[in-house]
């Protein structure tokens, strides 16, 4: 007998309850439903508790009745006080020796006692690369660490050719500042932004500042701690929160801790074994051979198990984590979270909650974070008390594939796998995006179809979309924006995507914001979608139910309080009519969709090629609303 979803489907409540991940202590119900004609007489569930040393238990599933022409074998798995992954398999046996096997499947068991603030996943997040967003004056780099240069014209190209070490030095600055961000808060509010995610703001020699020079100091080109506090105050007045980027896996070569070039007055680890920071680093041959992040000499790796380093980052009341929350921040995004030890992440989380009970910690993970293995260790990111959510690169990858001609069924399957594996708090607090500072600009990808790595770097630096490519990319992006803004999790805009910025990989994806040269139609589209996200509870908190996922056609329903919002997309090259399978009433919210009724009376929507729309939906009677566990 082959694999039969009618016998067991973990997403079917007749086969497994509750849906998806469960809090510790839950008794999970399982049921197998084989055809009676197959003659199976016994059923078993085998569960392997990975974080309990792979302890395995076998649970009999006795015959409990029948449904139509199917037998039903059912029983319960008690998760007890376990927190971690359970890998379960199912087996049917017949008196004649026949058997049916359903291979290992993941069950995530998390700490349900951990309260996760819901605010992050409800509204729009805006990611800012501070040096490139907005400057108020052309700064003078004299006296600043790193041998910096400053572009006099805001419209110049960033430097991209490598230095003698084969690395891009990233020492060219444009002078974006915290005051510049504060100046544009009303503009961001007009986009519906509720969270500002700032790439690193601490002193650092490079324009990206991912090589931290001093965790206690705002980079002087960005401003001062007072400027940061003012930004937070003004953001809070507008209902926005501020998320900082914490880079704790490595520091800068140019830093008060390593002090590789002697820029700082104290003794760094590279200068003396007596340095208070010497134990923070891993030297194979002091002082010139040391571990660094991905072998990049300018980013020496830290020893995250060092007690002094831990105390400095999260241990005391005046630790880095707590002092910047006191200064006005509302949470942290952890750079390369899967390269940090689990107990380090837990320490960061505890410190953040101790300082500010509604602070959030979001981790950078590029895969399904529920089962991620890094450096041979299964990570605990989403088990409660570690990360409250993760950067959702799986969403980006699936959305990009779909918008470029992939099957909507694949998008649905990848997202439903996440929904099944992630605790609800993590699924609804995911940082969803179409682009970040680590990916090519989404408009460029949607116009070119690929990152064009086969071309030279000089070619990619100079290339711009042709008018035809840009027109195609804009249509795809407008459809993708509907998907982004209506999907569960926080829709995250990378600065300038809403303005039509282009560019391949770093640093071409980090050009300056085109103030005064924005794509007005794209801006208006994103602003309208942001308003929907800000005002509609179904988009902020609602469950998701897929209505259609076939070829280029995708539609899903978000429901909350008896009302809902339908997201419908046609990524294909021809006009299409999408049968939504819904009764009730619908009205357009945004986009080109034309509503009608099919022969069965159900709602249909006609969409032009490469377009998307949002519809308000209500059932005829409240009890007719689609079933589903609301957030």
Q: Among all residues, which ones are annotated catalytic?
A: 335, 364
**CA–CA separation, 420 vs 21, rounded Å?**
6
For residue 170, give Cα distances in angstroms to 108, 167, 303, 507, 593. 41, 9, 25, 9, 46
- Identify whether the C-beta of residue 421 lies closer than 8 Å to the C-beta of residue 108: yes
Q: How far is CA 491 from the centre of its chain?
A: 9
Q: What is the DSSP letter of 601?
A: S
How many other C-beta atoms can be found within 10 angstroms of the C-beta atom of residue 144?
18
**CA–CA separation, 188 vs 239, rounded Å?**
11
**CA–CA separation, 490 vs 78, rounded Å?**
33
Q: What is the DSSP letter of 207?
A: T
Residue 6: CA count within 13 A, CB half-sphere:
10
Token duo for residue 400:
């990009």
Long-range contacts of 149-152 (CB under 8 A, 24+ apart): 149/173, 150/174, 150/175, 151/175
**CA–CA separation, 371 vs 382, rounded Å?**
9
Torsion-angle region of 157 (φ positive above 0: left; ψ -120 to 50: alpha; else: beta): beta
**CA–CA separation, 429 vs 540, rounded Å?**
11
**CA–CA separation, 349 vs 319, rounded Å?**
13
Q: Which residues contact 413 (CB under 8 A, 6 or more apart)?
A: none
């Amino acid at each position: 007998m082959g694999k039969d979803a009618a016998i067991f489907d973990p997403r079917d409540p007749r086969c497994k309850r509750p849906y998806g991940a469960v809090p510790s202590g839950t008794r999970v119900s399982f049921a197998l439903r084989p055809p009676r004609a197959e003659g199976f007489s016994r059923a078993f569930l085998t569960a392997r508790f990975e974080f309990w040393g792979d302890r395995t238990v076998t649970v009999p599933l006795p015959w409990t009745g029948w449904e139509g022409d199917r037998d039903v074998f059912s029983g319960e798995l008690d998760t007890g006080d376990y927190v971690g992954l359970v890998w379960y398999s199912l087996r049917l046996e017949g008196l004649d020796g026949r058997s049916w096997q359903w291979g290992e499947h993941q069950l995530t068991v998390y700490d349900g006692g951990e309260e996760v603030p819901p605010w992050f996943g409800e509204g729009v997040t805006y990611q800012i690369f501070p040096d490139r967003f907005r400057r108020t004056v052309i700064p003078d780099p004299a006296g600043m660490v790193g041998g910096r240069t400053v572009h006099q014209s805001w419209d110049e190209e960033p430097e991209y050719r490598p230095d003698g070490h084969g690395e891009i030095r990233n020492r060219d600055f444009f002078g974006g500042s915290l005051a510049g961000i504060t100046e544009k808060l009303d503009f961001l509010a007009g986009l519906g932004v509720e969270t500002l995610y700032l790439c690193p703001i601490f002193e650092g020699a490079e324009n990206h500042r991912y090589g931290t020079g001093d965790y206690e100091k705002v980079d002087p080109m960005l401003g001062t701690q007072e400027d940061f506090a003012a930004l937070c105050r003004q953001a809070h007045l507008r209902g926005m929160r501020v998320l900082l980027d914490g880079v704790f896996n490595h520091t800068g070569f140019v830093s008060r801790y390593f002090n590789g070039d002697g820029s700082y007055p104290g003794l760094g680890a590279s200068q003396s074994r007596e340095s208070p920071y010497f134990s923070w680093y891993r030297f194979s041959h002091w002082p010139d051979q040391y571990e660094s992040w991905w072998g990049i000499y300018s980013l020496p790796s830290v020893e995250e198990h060092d007690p002094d380093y831990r105390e400095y980052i999260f241990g005391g009341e005046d630790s880095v984590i707590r002092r910047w929350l006191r200064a006005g921040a509302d949470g942290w995004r952890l750079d390369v979270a899967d390269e940090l030890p689990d107990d380090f992440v837990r320490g960061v989380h505890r410190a953040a909650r101790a300082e500010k009970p509604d602070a959030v910690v979001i981790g950078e993970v590029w895969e399904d974070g529920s089962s991620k293995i890094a450096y041979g260790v299964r990570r605990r990111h989403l088990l409660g008390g570690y990360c409250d959510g993760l950067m959702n690169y799986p969403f980006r990858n699936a959305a990009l594939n779909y918008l470029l001609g992939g099957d909507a069924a694949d998008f649905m399957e990848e997202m439903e796998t996440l929904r099944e594996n992630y605790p609800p708090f993590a699924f609804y607090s995911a940082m969803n995006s179409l682009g970040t500072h680590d990916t090519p600009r989404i408009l460029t990808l949607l116009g070119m179809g690929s990152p064009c790595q086969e071309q030279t770097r000089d070619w990619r630096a100079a290339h711009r979309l042709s008018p035809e490519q840009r027109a195609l990319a804009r249509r795809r992006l407008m459809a993708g924006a509907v998907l982004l803004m209506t999907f569960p999790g926080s829709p995250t805009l990378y600065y300038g995507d809403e303005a039509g910025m282009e560019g391949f990989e770093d640093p071409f994806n980090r050009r300056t914001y085109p103030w005064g040269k924005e794509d007005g139609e794209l801006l208006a589209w994103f602003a309208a979608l942001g308003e929907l996200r800000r005002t509609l509870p179904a988009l902020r908190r609602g469950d998701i139910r897929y209505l259609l996922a076939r070829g280029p056609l995708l539609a899903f329903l978000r429901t909350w309080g008896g009302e809902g919002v339908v997201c419908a997309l046609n990524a294909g090259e021809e006009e299409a009519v999408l049968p939504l399978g819904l009764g009730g009433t619908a009205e357009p919210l945004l986009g080109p969709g034309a509503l009608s009724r099919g022969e069965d009376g159900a709602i249909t929507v006609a969409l032009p090629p490469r377009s998307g729309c949002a519809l308000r939906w209500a059932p005829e009677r409240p009890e007719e609303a689609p079933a589903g566990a609301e957030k």
